[in-house]
C-alpha cells in the first residue's frame, strides 16, 4: 500500500509556526494559495493534506516563508549604544630561518569505517512506530472516552489510516502526533454513541479518587477535555495544542482555563497544573489496557481498504449499467400524453335510425322470403 511520491511538506506544527512568524492570518494565507480558511486550518492541524496544484503552491509558499525566516535569523542585530570598529592591521610575523627545511611527517590516523544504517521496510517502520506510540495513545484515548474498548478501537483505526497514508506519515517530523490527532477525532466522534457496546456500561475504576477524576473529565465538553489532555496530560505547548485542535491560540487558552476551573471546582486538590498532570498519568496507568499486534492492525486495515475499494467499483459498475440501460430504453421522440376522458354535458344525441315499424318489419320479411336471384329481383312488380 504505497503511493506515488509528492512534493514534501513540513509537519503541521511547522506550517503554523511559519505562518505566525510571517505575521500572516489564515485568511491571508488562504487568499495567497487560493483556498478557504477552513482548508488552511485543516492543513495546519494535519487532518487533511493538500494535493495537486494546491500542494505545489502551498509548499512553494512555505518554502519562501522558511527562507525569509532563516534570513532574518542569520542577520546580526547589534546592540544599541555599541559601535563596531575595525581591528587594527596585524603585523606580519617575523621570518626566522627554519633549521629543518624538511618537516617531519605527521602521524596519519585511519578512521574506522562506520556501520551503514540498515534500511527498514515500510512494514518494519510501521511496526516500530506502533509499538512505540500505541500504549500511550490507548491510555490517552481512555481519558477521552472513559471506555477501554473505544480507546483501543480508536487507536487501531488511527494506525490503520496511518498505514494507508504511510508515505506521508513516514516523512512527517511527528508521526505520533499525526496518529494522535486521528485517534482523538475518532474517539470523540458523535457517531460513537450509536455503537452497540454503549448499551452496556463498562466497570468504573476501582479507586474512588480515580473514579471521581474520570467522571469529572467526562463531564467536560469534548473540545475542553481534548485541550486539557493535550496541554496538561501530554505536555504540548499552547500553539501546538491549538493547531491540533484546529483552533486559534486564544481560543485554546480559553478552553484550557475553563477546563481547569471546572476540575478545580470539583477537585480543589488538582488546582495545581503539576498535580493535575501527575494524577492524569496515574489514572491512565492504573487501568489494564491492551492493543492488538502490529501485523494484525496492518492486515485489518488492508482488508478494510480492499473491501471499500471493491464496494466503490461495484457501485460504479452499477451506475454505469443503470445509465446504459436508461439510454437504451429511453424514447427517442416526444410522445404527448393521452388526456383523461371527461364527461361532457349539453351534447345533442347521436342521430341514428330508431326501431323498425310494423310496415318496415313486414317488408324486410317479405324480401327475405323471396328468391335471391332472377328477374323478379331486377324488375320488381307492382302490387
Q: What is the pLDDT of residues 15-34, one digit of tens each?
A: 888 888 888 888 888 888 88
Q: Is residue 79 part of a domain?
A: no
Q: Is residue 273 part of a domain?
A: yes
Structural domain harbouring 255: 122-286
Q: Is residue 131 part of a domain?
A: yes
Q: Is residue 153 part of a domain?
A: yes
pLDDT higher for 348 or 217? 217
pLDDT per residue over 156-176, tens digit each? 999 999 999 998 898 888 899
- What own/partner pairs with CB < 8 Å and gap ≥ 24 does 170-174 have? 170/122, 170/125, 171/8, 172/11, 172/46, 173/10, 173/11, 173/13, 173/14, 174/11, 174/13
**What's the CA gap between 253 and 190, in Å, rounded?**
24
Structural domain count of the chain:
2
Q: 148 and 40 in one domain?
A: no
CATH of the domain at 37: 1.10.260.40
Q: What is the pLDDT of residue 156?
A: 92
Average pLDDT over residues 323-350: 83
Q: What is the pLDDT of residue 373?
A: 66
Query: Which among 286, 305, 324 is the end of a domain?
Result: 286
Percent helix / strand / coil, the chain, rounded to 5: 60, 0, 40
Q: What is the pLDDT of residue 157?
A: 92
Q: Is residue 138 part of a domain?
A: yes
Q: 267 and 195 in one domain?
A: yes
Task: Decide if 39 contacts 30 (C-beta within 8 A).
Answer: yes
* Residue pointed to by grid coordinates 332472377: 374
Q: 129 and 60 in one domain?
A: no
Query: Which among 235, 269, 286 is the end of a domain?
Result: 286
Q: Which three cell numbers stand for residue 333?
A: 421522440
Q: 262 and 128 in one domain?
A: yes
**What's the CA gap between 323 and 28, in Å, rounded?**
44
Cβ burial of 127 (10 Å; 0-12, 13-18, 19+) is: middle
Neighbours of 131 (CB within 10 A): 12
Q: Is residue 304 part of a domain?
A: no
Q: 249 and 147 in one domain?
A: yes
DSSP character string of 107-143: PP-PPPPPPPPPPPPHHHHHHHHHHHHHHHHHHHHHH
Q: What is the pLDDT of residue 352?
A: 64
Q: What is the pLDDT of residue 181?
A: 92
Q: What is the pLDDT of residue 376?
A: 60
Residue 86 has pLDDT above 60, yes or no: no
Q: What is the pLDDT of residue 39?
A: 86
**What's the CA gap between 93 and 346, in Å, rounded?**
136
Q: What is the pLDDT of residue 374?
A: 62
**What's the CA gap between 184 and 48, in Å, rounded?**
15
Task: Decide if 192 contacts 222 (C-beta within 8 A).
Answer: no
331: left (phi over 0), alpha (psi -120 to 50) or beta: beta
Residue 4 pLDDT grade (very low, low, confident, very high; cuts 50, 70, 90): very low
Residue 84 pLDDT grade (very low, low, confident, very high; cuts 50, 70, 90): very low
DSSP character string of 163-191: HHTHHHHHHSS-HHHHHHHHHHHHHT-GG
Residue 113 has pLDDT above 80, yes or no: no
DSSP character string of 136-151: HHHHHHHHHHS-HHHH
Q: 146 and 17 in one domain?
A: no
Q: What is the pLDDT of residue 5?
A: 53
Does the pTM surpass 0.85? The reply is: no
Under 8 Å CB-to-CB from 133, ≥6 apart: which residues? Answer: 175, 176, 179, 180
Amino acid at each position: 500500500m504505497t503511493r506515488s511520491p509528492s512534493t514534501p511538506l513540513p509537519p503541521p506544527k511547522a506550517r503554523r509556526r511559519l505562518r505566525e512568524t510571517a505575521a500572516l492570518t489564515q485568511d491571508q494565507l488562504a487568499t495567497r494559495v487560493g483556498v478557504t480558511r477552513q482548508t488552511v486550518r485543516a492543513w495546519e492541524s494535519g487532518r487533511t493534506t493538500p494535493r495537486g496544484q494546491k500542494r505545489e503552491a502551498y509548499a512553494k509558499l512555505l518554502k519562501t516563508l522558511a527562507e525569509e525566516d532563516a534570513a532574518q535569523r542569520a542577520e546580526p542585530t547589534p546592540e544599541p549604544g555599541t559601535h563596531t570598529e575595525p581591528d587594527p592591521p596585524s603585523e606580519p610575523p617575523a621570518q626566522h630561518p627554519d633549521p629543518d627545511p624538511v618537516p617531519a611527517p605527521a602521524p596519519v590516523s585511519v578512521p574506522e569505517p562506520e556501520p551503514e544504517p540498515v534500511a527498514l521496510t515500510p512494514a518494519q517502520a510501521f511496526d516500530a512506530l506502533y509499538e512505540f506510540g500505541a500504549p500511550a495513545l490507548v491510555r490517552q484515548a481512555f481519558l477521552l472516552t472513559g471506555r477501554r474498548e473505544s480507546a483501543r478501537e480508536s487507536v487501531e483505526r488511527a494506525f490503520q489510516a496511518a498505514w494507508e497514508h504511510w508515505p506521508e506519515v513516514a516523512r512527517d517530523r511527528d508521526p505520533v502526533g499525526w496518529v494522535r490527532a486521528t485517534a482523538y477525532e475518532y474517539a470523540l466522534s458523535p457517531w460513537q454513541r450509536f455503537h452497540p457496546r454503549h448499551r452496556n456500561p463498562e466497570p468504573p475504576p476501582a479507586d474512588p479518587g480515580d473514579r471521581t477524576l474520570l467522571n469529572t473529565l467526562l463531564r467536560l465538553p469534548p473540545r475542553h477535555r481534548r485541550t486539557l489532555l493535550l496541554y496538561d496530560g501530554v505536555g504540548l505547548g499552547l500553539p501546538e495544542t491549538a493547531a491540533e485542535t484546529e483552533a486559534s491560540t486564544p481560543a485554546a487558552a480559553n478552553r484550557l482555563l475553563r477546563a481547569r476551573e471546572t476540575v478545580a471546582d470539583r477537585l480543589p486538590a488538582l488546582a495545581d497544573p503539576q498535580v493535575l498532570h501527575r494524577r492524569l498519568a496515574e489514572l491512565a496507568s492504573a487501568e489494564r489496557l491492551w492493543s492488538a499486534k502490529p501485523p494484525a492492525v496492518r492486515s485489518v486495515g488492508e482488508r478494510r481498504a480492499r473491501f471499500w475499494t471493491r464496494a466503490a467499483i461495484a457501485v460504479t459498475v452499477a451506475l454505469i449499467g443503470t445509465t446504459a440501460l436508461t439510454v437504451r430504453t429511453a424514447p427517442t421522440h416526444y410522445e404527448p400524453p393521452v388526456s383523461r376522458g371527461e364527461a361532457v354535458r349539453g351534447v345533442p344525441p347521436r342521430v341514428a335510425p330508431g326501431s323498425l315499424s310494423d310496415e318496415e318489419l313486414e317488408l324486410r320479411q317479405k324480401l327475405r322470403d323471396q328468391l335471391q336471384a332472377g328477374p323478379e329481383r331486377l324488375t320488381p312488380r307492382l302490387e
